[in-house]
Amino acid sequence: MAETKKIAIVVSEGTFDKAMMSMMIANTAASMGTEVHVFHTFFGLGLLKKGSRPKLPGMFRLFTGTFIKKMKKIGLEDYQGQLKLAAELGVNIYACSTTMELMGIKKEDMVDGVKVLGAAGFLDLAMDSESTLFIG
């Protein structure tokens, strides 16, 4: 029997493009039977807060709504939809425990299903992965 492949993804930014990129890669990998671990740290941690609505970066933030409408036209879920799909597909979503403490974010502030993990714990997962991506 073939061993399940594993991918680790680090998300360190909280903008719409980084949020969507990380979730679309994670969901695609999970749908292909890959074990997926996504670690949110620093500003990427804000993406896990309840009601998070990330915006495009800089002057492009004004076009976030237009971009979301275009995505829906071609059948892509928005960020909240992607996060929900990730949970359904079994993607492991982690919040960095050190960053949580640093930024005063509590587990109850985050969407359901988020696991809290330290950097050492995530590194153990990443070192056992065939691939590690940094989205930042």
Instruction: Give me the pLDDT at residue 1, please.
Output: 53
Q: Taking residues 71-100, report their average pLDDT.
A: 95
Question: In terms of residue numbers, what domain contains 37?
Answer: 6-135
**How many domains is the chain partitioned into structurally?**
1
- Does any domain span residue 73? yes
Question: What CATH number did the domain enclosing 42 receive?
Answer: 3.40.1260.10
- Does any domain span residue 33? yes
- Does any domain span residue 63? yes
- Does any domain span residue 1? no
Q: Taking residues 104-131, report their average pLDDT.
A: 95
Instruction: Give me the pLDDT at residue 2, please.
Output: 61
Average pLDDT taken over every residue of the chain: 94
- Does any domain span residue 69? yes
Q: 51-60, pLDDT tens digit by residue? A: 999 999 988 8
DSSP conformation letters of the chain: -PPPPEEEEEE---SHHHHHHHHHHHHHHHHTT-EEEEEE-GGGGGGGBTT-----SGGGGGGHHHHHHHHHHTT---HHHHHHHHHHHT-EEEEEHHHHHHHT--GGGBPTTPEEE-HHHHHHHHHTSSEEEEE-
- Does any domain span residue 42? yes
